[in-house]
Chain A
């Protein structure tokens, strides 16, 4: 084919995006790693190179273990529900039923509303004399310290993350269901398979790649959670809701401990990159090919 553009043209088109990505992705990425090998506590302007010292102090810090445990709980609590409940809802909505669009809109609504408002709404539900404790009383359960008990608080915050994510993942499943093999589903019906059997044998196997994708995507977003914690508990009580991003935020912007913040950032980077790489290389393989 003849060329209808000059040699430098492609680079010109990419230039604006390249400037932004270099300035706000590549340089900060390298900087994060560099910062994590330096000690800022003695001299902020000319920090010493200290090798792995920051990582060693991170590993020696009881707080960091607590933070990693909380982050782990967050993933374990949120991901299984976010991978399954939206799938169930998507299958229900994918039938030819009335008011389908209304259901979709109402279930999707929490996705578009700012997490700050959602967290405030839940804080009000969780109030000591709030409506949830009224329901608890109805069932003869003593009032629950939703956000003030170190054993309960993290689950209360996880519920908010789940609540905000359900509609999003439901839409992902719904769009995957468009391509579901209708002939197989009909064949299953003819063979007398029940509703549940039909979906277990045909729909779920067909959706396996999408389920895997939702698992990794929701894992990554659970690892990155911040606003719910900031608005509702500030990491408390007794650090029981402090997950890794909140820890990084606190170290970096409240304690001005750049070294520890960067070392923790590198830990987060590595974990997220593993799940992301899994996504790109396995679950969304066709999507990203040059």
Chain B
């Protein structure tokens, strides 16, 4: 095989896979753009709508509180990200840098939580959330807290931050101490800026995870006005049982914010995978 055929073959395979990878979404877009005059079940299927129209997008927009779902998702994902970054960076610092009694025990206890899948303990978590009144039937605020707090920190984040702290030269802290900084100031003003890239990676991955989360919100939410986007989008199926034009249009609308986020933040995704920010 010479170099040209090799390159051609690589491109051919990659183009095919890329098309397959976005085809389900393109097909949703195509369906959403077809008006009542077009049969969406016709054989052979028409990929390009003959009379493209936005009427399905307008129609579904008026019946579904997308803005509300979007704001709920933003609140939940936003606070989950902030808490994760702060709590992970706090806990990781002494684990990376200090010597104290019980350090190894704490380290292994945190490590042990990696092995526990959320799905196996979600029932008692739900019972605890109920007992602590962190549920939307109490108040909207309580509902948000119940959505956010169980995911406020996890072992992956702590270990990711710990690796970052371990890479900083010790002299930096000593110099800051000599300059009269206390330990909290050292953490906040000197070290945190050094690990900012890792914070960004953690933030981006936490955001995506929280934004797409479906299981937990569908367990705890009872009040429709607190629905996040995934729960709201799943609800489309029940509301417009056979109206695939509306279901498709609604799904596409829901994807736009995260698509923009991804395209803006793509380098952090690559950086994150290179850091080994892998989750099981």
Contact = CB atoms under 8 A, between A and B. Distances in A.
Contacts of A269: 116-117, 120-121
A194 B189 CA distance: 54
A266 B120 contact: yes
A116 B128 CA distance: 27
B225 interface: no
Interface stretch (A57-65, A72-80, A144-152, A164-172): A164-172
B119 A268 contact: yes
A127 B247 CA distance: 13
A4 interface: yes
A127 B237 CA distance: 13
A287 B254 CA distance: 37
B192 interface: no
A20 B91 CA distance: 12
Interface stretch (B55-63, B99-107, B193-201): B99-107
Given A92-B13, A253-B219, A17 B153 contact: yes
A134 B113 contact: no
Given A24-B125, A113-B212, A125-B27, A106 B120 contact: no
Contact of B90 (A13, A28, A105, A167): A13
B17 to A, nearest CB: 6
A31 interface: yes
A175 B274 contact: yes
Contacts of B27: 121, 124-125, 131
Contact of A5 (B17, B98, B158, B270): B98
Chain B, interface residues (CB within 8 Å), range:
35 or more
Contacts of A224: 117-119
B120 A32 contact: yes
Contacts of B187: 13
Contacts of A275: 280
A174 interface: yes
A113 B25 contact: yes
A89 interface: yes
Contact of B280 (A117, A178, A221): A221
A288 B159 contact: yes
Contacts of A190: none
A182 B91 CA distance: 39
B206 interface: no
A220 interface: yes
Contact of A137 (B24, B31, B43, B117): B43
B270 A290 contact: no
B280 A220 contact: yes
B42 to A, nearest CB: 9
A29 interface: yes
A183 to B, nearest CB: 21
A50 interface: no
Interface in A100-128: 102-110, 112-118, 120-125, 127
B273 interface: yes
Interface in B115-168: 115-128, 149-150, 152-153, 155, 158-159, 163
A117 B254 contact: yes
Given A92-B14, A107-B18, A290-B107, 6 more contacts: A16-B153, A106-B22, A112-B208, A113-B25, A117-B230, A265-B120
14 contacts: A10-B103, A11-B100, A29-B121, A32-B123, A92-B14, A95-B10, A105-B266, A114-B229, A120-B236, A127-B41, A166-B21, A230-B215, A252-B122, A290-B104
Interface of A: 1, 4-7, 9-11, 13-14, 16-18, 20-21, 23-29, 31-32, 35, 89, 92-93, 95, 97-99, 102-110, 112-118, 120-125, 127, 129-131, 134, 137, 163, 166-167, 171-172, 174-175, 178, 194-195, 213, 216-217, 220-221, 223-224, 226-227, 230-231, 245, 248-249, 252-253, 258, 261-262, 265-266, 268-269, 272-273, 275-277, 279-280, 287-288, 290
